[in-house]
Amino acid sequence: MEDMWSSTRVAVNRRSFVKNGLSAAGLATAGLLTTSEIVSADDGPDDRSGRLTRGDAAMLRFAAAAEILETDFWVQYNELAGVQDDEVPGGSGNPAYAAVLEAFDDDMAQYIHDNTDDEFTHQNFLNAYLESKGAEPVNLEPFRTLKGSSASGSSGKPRLTNLMELTLDTSWYTRYRSARHNPDLDPQFTFPQAVPTLAVGKHTAIPRTDADTTNANFLQAIANTAAFHFATIEQGGSSLYPAMAQRANSVEVLRILISIGPTETMHFQTWSDLAGDATPVTAVDPKTGVSVTFPDLNSAPFGGPLFQTNLIMPEPCPFLSRKLPRCSVIRPTETRGIAMNVVNFLTAMGLFIGQPPAFFRLMIQLAQEADAARRSS
């Protein structure tokens, strides 16, 4: 963890920003960062009444960036398989894709819509709160350049995230079922994947074109990939907020983090239940030749306490110390380096494939500033 964090670390000051080829002035002009925030990583309390400490602002700004990215890909799912209404506008629905997702649960379209709506409110609230405190909000619009799905139902608008080349780490599935291991206490332990073939190769979670909806087997695999992606993302949010909350200075910032975080967990709980309903299937992507297998998680060699699909309540596990009794908790919640870990996690997922180096430099900058935040007391 520490190595992963330090290997991507770049100095947080204006000079290195310029040295790395990212124009600080350009970013400030684009409304991405203020010059004062680029210049200093000092997170000591700001004595201006009602203002945020630099660290609190940085953590909220990182959360806002994460929420903007979440919103972007949830919108893509909603356009194709959610409820089309004024609350989440944009698409017109892809009946074939939506029908396969609907087979998971009759309420799938509503759940996708409501998760999307929630992300919009997280993004909008965090940026508005930052501005209300005189702090800079996050604007990722200059990076809205990716081409999304051209299948029926998609708005065809440019995107921030790529849902068509995902590599999914589904180890959260066994991490929350493990009674003996907590990543905070066992950072070297490898939790088994629920869908090992999703952890290698690139997989699309949405129909790229209408051609992707013509093969029932492959379409089932696409929908299954989406179902596992939903939970994979939302478990990340479930860890991010409590991890950052431990370094909040203002009680109000603490309140924001511990009030948004559990809604990510409510999403995760729903999606982790539904992911277990994925119909077992093996399919080969006709475009890339990549194969994926969704196993029957209730039968050998799967099954048992680590894979049984109805074991969706978090299994009690070691927490803080093995000398203490096991406890049912969110895991991990280690606060050190959490923001950079999230950036690395999303990058490894393939969510940003197609984004230019300036996008990654900005995300690293936001993460480093958030990870530099310290509680003053």
Shortest CB 267 distance to Fe ion, Å: 5
Tell me: does residue 122 bind Fe ion (CB under 5 A): yes
**Closest Cα partner for 35 from 19, 24, 44, 23?**
24
Tell me: does residue 119 bind Fe ion (CB under 5 A): yes
3-class SS of residue 196: helix
Residue 278, CA distances (Å) to 147, 203, 217 in order: 28, 16, 12
Choices 114-122, 152-160, 163-171, 213-221; region in contact with Fe ion by CB under 5 A: 114-122
Tokens of 353: 């494939």
Shortest CB 166 distance to Fe ion, Å: 16
Tokens of 40: 């200093």
Distance CA 126, CA 269 (A): 23
Distance CA 42, CA 355 (A): 29
Tell me: does residue 264 bind Fe ion (CB under 5 A): yes
Tokens of 190: 């490898």
Q: What are the start-end ranges of the H helices in 33-170?
A: 35-39, 54-81, 95-102, 108-132
Q: What are the start-end ranges of the H helices in 176-332?
A: 216-245, 251-275
Shortest CB 15 distance to Fe ion, Å: 34
Question: For residues 122 and 331, which CB has a smaller minimum distance to Fe ion in the complex?
Answer: 122
Shortest CB 311 distance to Fe ion, Å: 22
Distance CA 326, CA 333 (A): 15
Tell me: does residue 369 bind Fe ion (CB under 5 A): no
First to last CA, the chain: 26
Question: For residues 213 and 263, which CB has a smaller minimum distance to Fe ion in the complex?
Answer: 263
Question: For residues 122 and 159, which CB has a smaller minimum distance to Fe ion in the complex?
Answer: 122
Question: For residues 64 and 306, which CB has a smaller minimum distance to Fe ion in the complex?
Answer: 64
Tell me: does residue 114 bind Fe ion (CB under 5 A): no
> For Fe ion, how many residues bind (rule: CB under 5 A)?
7
Half-sphere exposure of 161 (CA within 13 A, CB side): 26
Residues in region 194-223 near Fe ion by CB under 5 A = none
Residues in region 61-100 near Fe ion by CB under 5 A = 67, 70
Question: For residues 212 and 264, which CB has a smaller minimum distance to Fe ion in the complex?
Answer: 264
Half-sphere exposure of 197 (CA within 13 A, CB side): 17
**Closest Cα partner for 331 from 227, 198, 179, 229?**
179
Distance CA 110, CA 289 (A): 33
Question: For residues 64 and 219, which CB has a smaller minimum distance to Fe ion in the complex?
Answer: 64
Question: For residues 56 and 67, which CB has a smaller minimum distance to Fe ion in the complex?
Answer: 67
Q: Are 34 and 136 in contact (CB under 8 A)?
A: yes
Tell me: does residue 37 bind Fe ion (CB under 5 A): no
Q: Which residue is nearest to Fe ion (CB)?
A: 122
Shortest CB 200 distance to Fe ion, Å: 25
Q: How are beta strands 291-294 and 281-284 bridged, if at all?
A: antiparallel
DSSP state of 82: S
Choices 212-220, 231-239, 307-315, 325-333; region in contact with Fe ion by CB under 5 A: 231-239
Tell me: does residue 56 bind Fe ion (CB under 5 A): no
Q: Determine the angle formed by the axes of helices 338-348 and 216-245, rounding to 10 degrees.
A: 170
- Residue written as token pair 């799938």: 108
Shortest CB 127 distance to Fe ion, Å: 13
Shortest CB 45 distance to Fe ion, Å: 27
Tell me: does residue 169 bind Fe ion (CB under 5 A): no
- Residue written as token pair 């590599």: 167
Question: For residues 178 and 239, which CB has a smaller minimum distance to Fe ion in the complex?
Answer: 239
Choices 82-90, 150-158, 163-171, 228-236; region in contact with Fe ion by CB under 5 A: 228-236
Shortest CB 367 distance to Fe ion, Å: 17
Question: For residues 71 and 309, which CB has a smaller minimum distance to Fe ion in the complex?
Answer: 71
Tell me: does residue 237 bind Fe ion (CB under 5 A): yes
Question: For residues 70 and 114, which CB has a smaller minimum distance to Fe ion in the complex?
Answer: 70
> Using CB under 5 A as the criterion, which residues of the chain lie in contact with Fe ion when the complex forms?
67, 70, 119, 122, 234, 237, 264
